Amino acid sequence: NAGVTQTPKFQVLKTGQSMTLQCAQDMNHEYMSWYRQDPGMGLRLIHYSVGAGITDQGEVPNGYNVSRSTTEDFPLRLLSAAPSQTSVYFCASSRGTGASNEQFFGPGTRLTVL
Amino acid sequence: QKEVEQDPGPLSVPEGAIVSLNCTYSNSAFQYFMWYRQYSRKGPELLMYTYSSGNKEDGRFTAQVDKSSKYISLFIRDSQPSDSATYLCAMRIPNAGGTSYGKLTFGQGTILTVHP
């Protein structure tokens, strides 16, 4: 199993550009989520999905869109990049949301918006 | 005030030392508690989880939860250079709905360095 994979590893954007961060998992997990990690802030939930075709907002959703057309993939779209979106983005997946359902994290995408 | 506060560190200890990492929280609805380890330029990986007050041991690691004081700790015995990483506490509300569904609330992380 590859687990959770994310592409690209690094990205530099100019303000106003759009892009899609890719996330895929091969564990047949129903629950997938996107977090951003900023210094001194821990990880904060952006969007999540409980299955194909079902998505919802997390704590900091503004400026981001998601879709879930398959169980495996959960891309995150930045509509019009802003410097405040400079961060490290992590995708995570789990079988469910119970206490024993471990969330597996991908290796992250480091995004810089100039 | 943040819902979860973690001692920011950084911590630098000699090999073999006992390490104590701590988090406090303000929301009594948190019932699931986790510790994640994050190596540099990697994603977090689950180290331990618990949902009851008291201690839980796994090898050199002990997770401690005190719900009455809203305080959790992770102890590392006989620390090794390979333990050098950022440690993140995380917690969750069971059966939460809306924007909190499945959400993990993280502390800020503590950078630990164990030197030989």
Q: Which residue of A has its CA nearest to B102?
A: A97
Q: Which residue of B has its CA nearest to A42?
A: B108
User: Does B8 have pLDDT greater than 80?
Assistant: no
CA dist B80 and B62 (Å) reads 15
CA dist A96 and A109 (Å) reads 24
- Classify residue B113 by burial, with Cβ atoms within 10 Å: 0-12, 13-18, 19+: middle
Segment A95-106 shows an average pLDDT of 80
**Phi and psi at residue B103, in whole multiples of 5°?**
-75, 135
pLDDT digits (tens, 9 = 90+) for A63-96: 999 999 999 999 999 999 999 999 999 999 998 7
Measuring CA to CA, which residue among B30, B32, B11 is closest to residue B20? B11
B75 within 8 A of B18, measured Cβ to Cβ: yes
CA dist A58 and A82 (Å) reads 19
Model confidence at A99, pLDDT cuts 50, 70, 90, reads low
CA dist B44 and B104 (Å) reads 12
Q: Residue B99: what pLDDT? A: 58
pLDDT digits (tens, 9 = 90+) for B44-103: 999 998 888 889 999 999 999 999 999 999 999 999 999 999 999 999 887 776 656 677
Provide the 10 A C-beta neighbour count for residue A40. Answer: 8
* Contact across the interface for A94 and B32, Cβ inside 8 Å: no
Interface of B with A (CB under 8 A): 4, 6, 8, 31-32, 41-46, 49, 51, 88, 90, 92, 94, 98-99, 101-109
pLDDT digits (tens, 9 = 90+) for B28-40: 989 899 999 999 9
Task: Tell me the Ramachandran region of residue B54: left when phi exceeds 0, alpha when psi lies from -120 to 50, beta otherwise.
Answer: left
Mean pLDDT for all residues in chain A: 93
For residue B26 the two structure tokens come to 């303000």
